[in-house]
């Protein structure tokens, strides 16, 4: 299943509940940010080592999966309301990233915003 297929599943869910009138890009962006905050809470005050260890816990992984899904659902809805294919947008951006950060130049290095 592609992101575009998932977009149709999410759209159907929204339309079945007559929520389209509430789901405008601004409201969806705010909701995505709120859900991202909930995702970040799962990492708050934890070291990388603690987080890695927690990934072995099924309850933690379940909570993480739920928050990732919530964020992605809102981002997919923003794309849908804007008439943007998430698949096409990601593929286009990855092409741009490959040009901006060539592997031979950036392998093993973190990208710096300002050189």
Q: What is the DSSP string of 5-49?
A: HHHHHHHHHHHHTT-GGG--HHHHHHHHHHHHHHHHHTTTT--HH
In a domain? residue 10? yes
Question: Where does the pLDDT of residue 115 fall: very low under 50, low under 70, confident under 90, or very high at 90 and above?
Answer: low
Report the pLDDT value the prediction gives residue 49, as an integer from 0 to 100.
98
Whether the pLDDT of residue 93 is over 60: the answer is yes
Tell whether 44 is covered by a domain.
Answer: yes
- Assigned domain for 114 exists: no
Q: Is the pLDDT of residue 114 over 80?
A: no
Task: Return the CATH number at 37.
Answer: 1.10.287.1080
**Tally of domains in the chain:** 1
The 10s digit of each residue's pLDDT in 31-81 is 999 999 999 999 999 999 999 999 999 999 999 999 999 999 999 999 999
Indicate whether 97 belongs to any domain: no
Establish if 106 belongs to a structural domain.
no
The residue range of the domain holding 25 is 3-88
As a whole number of angstroms, the distance between CA 45 and CA 43 comes to 6
pTM of the model: 0.88
């Amino acid at each position: 299943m592609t992101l575009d297929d998932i977009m149709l599943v999410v759209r159907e869910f929204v339309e079945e509940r007559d929520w389209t009138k509430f789901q405008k890009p601004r409201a969806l962006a705010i909701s995505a940010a709120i859900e991202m905050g909930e995702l970040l809470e799962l990492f708050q005050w934890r070291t990388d080592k603690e987080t890695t260890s927690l990934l072995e816990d099924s309850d933690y992984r379940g909570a993480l999966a739920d928050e990732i899904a919530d964020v992605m659902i809102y981002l997919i809805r923003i794309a849908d309301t804007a008439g943007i294919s998430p698949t096409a947008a990601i593929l286009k951006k990855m092409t741009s990233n490959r040009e901006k950060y060539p592997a031979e130049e950036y392998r093993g290095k973190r990208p710096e915003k300002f050189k």
